[in-house]
Amino acid sequence: DGGITQSPKYLFRKEGQNVTLSCEQNLNHDAMYWYRQDPGQGLRLIYYSQIVNDFQKGDIAEGYSVSREKKESFPLTVTSAQKNPTAFYLCASSLTGISYNEQFFGPGTRLTVL
């Protein structure tokens, strides 16, 4: 089945630790995205990549890093510099970066900082 997967589903982190969230897609999509969702707020864009080996910062990139070495993979690292990392993290992909292309979302990772 084609789709987008994220792991782990739940992640607990101690303050000061870096953690990496996995995102994989087998849809052959060029574009991939990372969003953060907090209660009562809309999704906010962290990073996006329109093509392999290239990515750009979104609205809230501080304290996060990404890589796009393979078309199907777009991991997100939450660093200790991110001041309030507890949130629901959603990865998405689309055929291309053009706006009318539907974005397909993975099931998300819930990160909690202890």
Partner 1 sequence: RKEVEQDPGPFNVPEGATVAFNCTYSNSASQSFFWYRQDCRKEPKLLMSVYSSGNEDGRFTAQLNRASQYISLLIRDSKLSDSATYLCVVAEDETTDSWGKLQFGAGTQVVVTP
**CB of residue 80 to partner 1, shortest distance in Å:** 27
Mention every residue, 6+ apart, whose C-beta is less than 8 A from residue 3: 25, 26, 27, 104, 106
Which C-beta is closer to partner 1: that of 37 or that of 79?
Answer: 37
- Between residues 8 and 107, which has the closer beta carbon with respect to partner 1? 107
Q: Which is nearer to partner 1, 80 or 88 (CB)?
A: 88
Q: How far is the CB of 43 from partner 1 (least distance, A)?
A: 4
Which residue reads 């080996």 in tokens? 53
Torsion of CA 26, 32, 38, 44, to 10 degrees: -160
Query: What's the CA gap between 40 and 63, in Å, rounded?
Result: 22
Q: How far is the CB of 34 from partner 1 (least distance, A)?
A: 13
Note the residues at the interface with partner 1 (CB under 8 A). Answer: 35, 40-45, 48, 50, 58-59, 88, 90, 97-100, 102-103, 105-108
Place of tokens 């291309």: 96
Q: Which is nearer to partner 1, 3 or 18 (CB)?
A: 3
**Dihedral pair phi/psi, residue 25, rounded to 5°:** -135, 145
Shortest separation between residue 16's beta carbon and partner 1, angstroms: 28
